[in-house]
A and B are shown apart, each in its own frame.
Chain A
Amino acid sequence: MCLAVPTEVVELRVDEPDMAVVEVSGVRRAINIGLLASEGVRPGDWVLVHVGFAMSKIDEAEARATLRLLEELGQAYDDELAALAQPVEDD
């Protein structure tokens, strides 16, 4: 849970104003963008996501560089991605 992962915003949720769908390494997930309300978030933006919340906007080049670094971490990043992809456990 310590890692913050750069993701690309692909869709804003109309029904839930604080939520957006993001994508990273082929994984999609709804996250909360409420902390970036004052900056505004749009599809195509890259945001750093930590435990389901967008923490800050970053530019695409920075995002890709960070992703490369994360991929090199191996297990720790795989675990984080798996957690991100994991649906809520129903038993």
Chain B
Amino acid sequence: MRYVDEYRDADKARALATEIAALCEPGRQYKFMEVCGGHTHTIYKHGIDDYLPESVQLVHGPGCPVCVIPMGRVDDAIAIAEQSDVIMATFGDMMRVPGGRGSFFDSKAAGADVRMVYSPLDALTLARRNPDKRVVFMAIGFETTAPSTAMTVLRAAADGVDNFSVFCNHVTIIPAIKAILDSPDLRLDGFIGPGHVSTVIGCRPYEFIARHHGKPLVCAGFEPLDVLQSVYMIMRQLADGRAEVENQYARVVPWDGNAKALTAIAEVMELRPYFEWRGLGFISQSALKVRDEYAAFDAERIFDVPGVRVADPKACQCGEVLKGVIKPWECKVFGTACTPETPIGTCMVSSEGACAAYYNFGRFSRAHVHEATKR
């Protein structure tokens, strides 16, 4: 198990921590955003903060697909699920996400036919097995998940399954990063790039971040040492006065992404003019909808979708958490009114959400830093 030893090695972690500390310019503060919820998880679980000097701060980004679905879309989906001949198929993570009028769990308890599926292909299987029902798949996720939905629609079309459709809520990562870069609340020095989204889109789409915004981005793996090494690579770039896109996770992420996946998305879906993100508001060209050619598989055209808009609850600060403006524990209802059992905001629902990750692995000790970086 060479890799395990390589990445788990505490000595390596300490060595990296020392090198990161050595690269810090005295008096300068560094703020890096980890875009992906998977990284947030690793950072809390393994206490990566403990290995970083106090001047280096990691802030969470918008990369949790469940967290960014606005309340109104949940209500719309529930309105579809409540039709008498409908089976709504959804990932388990979506079940507890609160809309304005409750969650899928609530609507299931009230009699709607909502089923948890592992894959969009399972939703298609449901459609084949229930020819007298209309099966709708609640499609969510970034470019990691969109190819699976697209491939499933292509399969349904090829096989002529006419009682299957998708309620498309796929979002794209680049416009969200753009929105954060343009947001006045936050000054970032670099990005830890998402690992799995990048297996699909590759590294090129991030180049504008380096070129136009002058900020480094390093696509990173999910091992604790991957994250530390990526922080080191960003710090190295800053110290050298460079801003580039680098790939720390080349063992999984191809520089050009997955052409087959991108083709499938482009065949079935196109950009929406705008889409609402929970906490971030409307972002233009930031989400995907089903193309006219596949209208027969588009739940938004098959059903009367109310197009509900619901303001986030007053107490909820998910927007600030998703933009990295505040840390989860700085939200007023964190851990009191808002917990994984009774989530107010979405960041508390998915295990990838920053609030849930912090709630589950909550640790914030700077003690190890001084330990680790003592020279």
| Chain B residues proximal to chain A, CB less than 8 Å | 1-4, 7-8, 37-38, 41-42, 45, 64-66, 91-93, 115-122, 125-126, 129, 140-141, 144-145, 147-148, 151, 196, 199-200, 222-223, 251-254, 258-261, 264, 350-352, 360
Contacts and interface: CB of A to CB of B under 8 A. Distances in A.
A77 to B, nearest CB: 9
Identify the 7 closest CB pairs spanning chains A and B, nearest first.
A52-B119, A65-B3, A76-B351, A1-B91, A83-B118, A2-B352, A53-B148
Contacts of A68: 1, 4, 8
Given A1-B93, A56-B258, A61-B1, A51 B222 contact: no
Nearest to B264: A35
A7 B147 CA distance: 19
Is the interface on chain A under 10, 10 to 19, 20 to 34, or 35 or more residues? 35 or more
Given A4-B144, A72-B45, A52 B122 contact: yes
Given A55-B196, A68-B1, A89-B117, 11 more contacts: A2-B38, A2-B66, A34-B151, A51-B91, A52-B118, A56-B258, A62-B251, A64-B3, A83-B91, A88-B122, A88-B129
A83 B148 CA distance: 16
A55 B200 contact: yes
A79 B92 contact: yes
B151 A64 contact: no
Contact of A51 (B38, B118, B252, B352): B118
B140 to A, nearest CB: 8
Contact of B252 (A37, A56, A84): A56
12 contacts: A1-B65, A3-B38, A32-B148, A35-B258, A36-B260, A52-B119, A52-B122, A53-B121, A53-B147, A61-B3, A83-B92, A89-B126
A86 B258 CA distance: 28
Contacts, number: 127
B121 A52 contact: yes
Interface in A14-72: 31-32, 34-38, 48, 50-53, 55-56, 58-59, 61-62, 64-66, 68-69, 72
Contact of A56 (B3, B45, B119, B199): B199
A2 B3 contact: no
Given A34-B151, A35-B151, A72-B45, A61 B38 contact: no
A84 B42 CA distance: 22
Most B CB atoms within 10 A — which of A56, A61, A72? A56
B4 A88 contact: no
Contacts of B38: 2-3
B291 to A, nearest CB: 19
A62 B7 CA distance: 10
A86 B125 CA distance: 13
